[in-house]
Every structure is written in C-alpha cells, then in structure tokens.
Amino acid sequence: MKALITGVSGQDGSHLADLLLGKGYEVHGIIRRTSGTNTQRIDHILNHDNLHLHVGDMTDSESLHRIVREVKPHEVYNLAAQSMVRDSFDVASYTADVDALGVLRILEAVMDTNRDIRFYQAGTSEMFGAVLQIPQNENTPFNPQSPYAISKTFGHYITKHFREAYGLFACNGILFNHEGPRRGDKFVTQKIVKALVAIKREKQEKLYLGNLDARRDWGLAEDYVRAMYLMLQQDEPGDYVIATGETHTIREFLDVAAGLLEMDWARYVECDTRLFRPSEVDMLLGDASLAKNVLNWQPEVKFKQLVKIMVEAELAR
C-alpha cells in the first residue's frame, strides 16, 4: 500500500507516518520548500527505506498534480494547514488559500489521477465555533468563529461534495483538540508545559496567556491519527467526530501540569489581553459515538495522562 501525506512534518503527519510505516506502507510525504529544515518530528524516520519526501505546496496546483501522478497512492491524507487559529485573523487570505482552496486543489489532483484513491480531510472542532449544541456530533450545525475555522468548513463541504457528486471515497475527520510532545510551541498546551518547566529550572520568569476559561476536549495525537487510518479502511466513506467526551479549561490544564511539577502556577501566570481572539470559542465537547460504533475506535489516553505525558517529555527534553 502507498499513502501520500500532506503536512507530513507536522505533529499529526509525523505520527501518521509512524503508524503507516509500522503497517508496512510505502509512505510519501509532501513538505514545503520553506519546511525543508523543519523536519525534527520526522528526523527519526528520515532514513527509513519506505519514506519518501516530495517538495510541494498546497497553494500550487501543479506541484500537487505532479506528486499525485508520480506517487500513484492508494490513500491520501490531507493534513497540511495554516493551523494557528489566532494567526488566521492576521493572515486570513493565506489561511483560506491553504486551508480552503488547498483542499480543492488536492481533491482535483486525486480525481484527475485515479478516482479509486481514498481521501482523508483533516477537519477541526473549531468548525463548531460558538456551539449550537452540547455535546457536538456529526449532525451539529457548524458556526465557525475564525478565518481558520471558516476555511476548514469549506474544506469539509468540498470533500463531502466530491464524495456525493463524483463517488470519491472521501472522509472528513472532525477532530477535537489533540496534543502531545510533538505539538508546536505556539499551541497553548505546549506553551504551558514548556514555560512551566523553564520556570521550574529558573530559565524563565513569567508565562503570559489569554482566556484561561476556554474549555476544550483534549486527547492524545497518536490516538487521533489511528482514527484517520481507520476511516479509510471502511467499506463506505463517512464523516466522523473524534473526541474524548471530556471538556476541561485551560485553568485545569495549568492545575494538572503545575501539580506534576510541584508549582503554584498563579505566581507565574499573567493574563495578556492581546492573546485573546477577536471572537472567542468558549466551549468544545465532542460526542464520538459514531466512531466508536463504526470504526471501533476509542481514545486510550484521557486528560490527566495526556498532561503527564507532555510534562515528562519536556522534562526529558
């Protein structure tokens, strides 16, 4: 089996590459020219005989068509994105070009090459935005509150369109927040863990955060990429919410992380209103019943264990 992963050097892409290589896949990954030196998440597999990297860009149709034609994959996992929600307010047109039109470009490349290719689109719980239902499942209306979430909503619907209009085996994963030691430094969970460890080691004095009362459904990234793989192994394509079914505030994340480090985080954390989003998403909580019933998927790691994994990895690093 051959798989093509866009965004292979990101958190999810690197974990998915690990998973597929372990299953005997020939894995092809797309990296941007500017990401050529940002491969630390896949450094441990760069010399693997079954890993092949290609330079391409989600904003460039020709590069995507060329790579799909050359690789002839059985499965395509589209994980590439401008994924910082706060940044999307400042680079809205770029976010739309990558996260919305980029999905259309890779779908067209798949269609033009081989309609038997199975396609996975990485969606996000941010599409639910200012939630209209608690918890959120596959039938909950989207109400996106950022250029990132709006762009991802386009990606969701254009994937669904290609499935329904052209018979493409195309799936949307509506993934709630998923974290781990490979999470980018600007994401709040990794930002918290890195800062608290640095403060503990007297290498940093303060941690500045935005909305501490925002609630999220947090899981472990490895659990979530397993769900991506399972979606493309089914007899029929579909869309699935992937979540733990628990919601916790950023305050709670601070409580658990600081507790593991025997620290009082209130002494070091300060609120910076510049870190608030122009429009906030206050609460996300997923109902993954469909994935549990159809995919036989369950999250193996819950909130406190996730925080422990991240803190221990940062201490070791």
| pLDDT given for residue 188 in this prediction | 95
Cα–Cα distance measured from residue 174 to residue 196, given in angstroms and rounded to the nearest whole number: 30
Average pLDDT value for the chain: 96
- Mean pLDDT score, 199-214: 94
Q: Which structure tokens are listed for 141?
A: 């209306």
pTM of the entire predicted model: 0.95
d(CA 114, CA 72): 8
Contact status, residue 154 vs residue 123, Cβ threshold 8 Å: no
81: phi then psi, degrees, rounded to nearest 5 = -170, 155
**Per-residue pLDDT for 36 more than 70?**
no
The lowest-confidence range among 65-79, 155-169, 276-290 is 276-290
Residue 173 structure tokens: 């994963």
pLDDT tens, position by position, 265-302: 999 999 888 887 787 788 999 999 999 999 999 999 99
Q: Give the CATH architecture of domain 184-216+248-284+302-316.
A: Alpha-Beta Complex (3.90)
Thinking of the domain 2-178+218-242, which architecture would CATH place it in?
Answer: 3-Layer(aba) Sandwich (3.40)
Interior/surface letters 218-242, b for 16+ CB within 10 angstroms, e for the rest: bbbbbbbbbbbbbbbeeeebbbbbb
88 CB neighbour count, 10 Å cutoff: 24
**Rounded Cα gap, residues 25 and 264, in angstroms:** 46
Cβ-in-10-Å burial (0-12, 13-18, 19+) of 98 comes to buried
Summarised one tens digit per residue, pLDDT across range 140-160 is 999 999 999 999 999 999 999
Domain ranges of the chain: 2-178+218-242, 184-216+248-284+302-316
* Active site residue ranges: 124, 126, 148
- 8: nearest Cα among 31, 26, 25, 24: 31
User: DSSP secondary-structure letter at 295?
Assistant: I
The model's confidence at residue 37, banded by pLDDT at 50, 70 and 90, is low
Query: Could you report the per-residue pLDDT of 88-134, keeping only the tens digit for each?
Result: 999 999 999 999 999 999 999 999 999 999 999 999 999 999 999 99
The pLDDT tens digits of the residues spanning 188-202 come to 999 999 999 999 999
